[in-house]
Structure 1
Amino acid sequence: MKRSLSDIQYKEDTEKLARFAKALGHPTRIAILKHLENQSCCFTGELVDVLPLAQSTISQHLKELKNAGLIQGELKPPKIKYCINQENWSKAKQLFDDLFNGSNSFEKVKC
């Protein structure tokens, strides 16, 4: 059976949504994203000043957000500057909106 382009897009979108949802599955990561949304960018040390966590813990959460593609980091030795990946952030918003508002792209699975 040949898969259609819409089936392939459905699979890609659901995988992206799951990856974004997993990254958003921790309150600290949500706090980091909220902070970054109000800044053009920031360094890890700034997040340590804002959040009551150790730098190593914040770094681990930044790694998860970066792996999901929601943020990006730019090396500014000896620091890393983080900002929201605007393209993926927009895509995440669109996918969550489609999910919560019953878009056709998520109506393919019948129970």
Structure 2
Amino acid sequence: MSRIQTVVSDLRNGLGAVKLRPDVKKVTLMFSRKSDNAGARYFLRENMPRIQYNNPAIEFEVKKVKEPGVSPELTVEFANNDIKKIPCSRIQSSDICKQFLSATTEGSA
């Protein structure tokens, strides 16, 4: 398998490789490079590419804050202007992804 085939296969499979609800409008990940933000950084590197690949119509934004002490947070905006905030402080990336998918896939409303 070539390197490109491996990358595409990884994007299509694994945690986060799902279609989100059609009313998800925007996803914002905010974190600092310091303190307890490792889960958010790993989520950005491991899970967010899969989510973006499988949901090209949704806007994704990443805010890396330089000041320490900022609590990492994943914010989901829906078409009806509802906002769901998922705190990411001291949580592993897989748990962040599971909480995100619970709030944004068809089974939830």
- Both proteins in one fold, TM over 0.5: no
Q: Which has the higher contact order (CA 8 A, sep 6+)?
A: 2
Give the structure with higher Rg (CA): 1
Query: As a proportion of its length, which structure holds more helix?
Result: 1
The TM-score with structure 1 as length reference comes to: 0.28
Query: As a proportion of its length, which structure holds more strand?
Result: 2
